[in-house]
């Protein structure tokens, strides 16, 4: 996502939480390609850290035009086994963090007076039920409705708010769960393959573009057709 935004000409602030090596690697690739990028450490389940992320971005890059609430985590467990600590960890980052991150971003965008874009990273689990992901799924459903209600309130400021419903995607986290993740999902997806980070980044690129000025309060699904059938490997 960060590299796609940089490719489109954005200077990018890359948030991370105690993972500087990952943020540095992305920032280095952006700089090597001639772009601008900074790295900001913070726990985005905390309201103050979201505000710091926006403040640091504006201080170092000059302004804010796009805010992508992409921080999130998954905790797999049967509903009957989910404890309060698990619920709080998932909800505090995925839902509360995204909410107050969007608020911090919106306050800056309104002050600038030139509109802007806010995009939430949701999931197809926010629409279709998957066993053992109840806490995660609730937060992802919440992000889709959050996009709708914030689009209503922020539209008068020319700020669009949308969500991405991301499906099966081959990335490090999913490969850690299942070394043959791509092969397993390819067998059930109408598209014939699992998604890639570049598929998601391309959809993000559209939502933040000038061509998407009339797209707001919408959830764009990037899942290879999975949500039309709901079959799991």
Catalytic residues: 136
C-alpha span between 20 and 34 (Å, rounded): 21
C-alpha span between 130 and 132 (Å, rounded): 7
Is 189 within 8 Å of 225 (Cβ atoms)?
yes
Tokens of 220: 């764009």
C-alpha span between 160 and 219 (Å, rounded): 12
- Stretch (H or E) spanning 28: helix 20-32
Tokens of 214: 């009339």
Q: Which residue has the tokens 């007076």?
A: 113
The total of other beta-carbon atoms located within 10 Å of residue 101's CB is: 26
C-alpha span between 92 and 69 (Å, rounded): 13
Contacts of 38 (CB under 8 A, 6+ apart): 11, 12, 13, 14, 27, 56, 57, 60, 61
Length of the chain: 233
CA distances in angstroms from 24 to 21, 49, 173, listed in the order given: 5, 19, 19
């Amino acid at each position: 996502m960060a590299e796609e935004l940089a490719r489109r000409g954005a200077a990018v602030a890359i948030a991370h939480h105690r993972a500087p090596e990952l943020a540095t690697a992305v920032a280095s690739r952006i700089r090597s390609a001639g772009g601008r990028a900074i790295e900001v450490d913070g726990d985005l389940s905390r309201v103050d850290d979201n505000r710091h992320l926006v403040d640091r971005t504006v201080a170092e890059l000059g302004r804010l035009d796009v805010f992508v609430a992409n921080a999130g985590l998954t905790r797999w467990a049967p509903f009957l086994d989910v404890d309060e600590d698990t619920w709080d960890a998932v909800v505090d980052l995925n839902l509360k963090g995204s909410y107050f991150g969007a608020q911090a971003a919106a306050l800056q965008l309104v002050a600038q007076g030139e509109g802007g874009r806010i995009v939430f990273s949701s999931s197809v689990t926010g629409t279709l039920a998957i066993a053992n992901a109840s806490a995660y799924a609730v937060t992802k459903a919440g992000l889709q409705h959050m996009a709708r209600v914030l689009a209503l309130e922020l539209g008068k400021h020319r700020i669009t708010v949308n969500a991405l419903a991301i499906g099966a995607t081959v990335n490090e986290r999913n490969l850690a769960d299942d070394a043959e993740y791509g092969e397993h999902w390819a067998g059930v997806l109408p598209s014939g393959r699992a998604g890639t980070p570049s598929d998601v980044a391309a959809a993000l690129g559209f939502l933040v573009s000038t061509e998407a000025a009339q797209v707001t309060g919408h959830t764009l699904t990037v899942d290879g057709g999975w949500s039309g059938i709901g079959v799991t490997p």
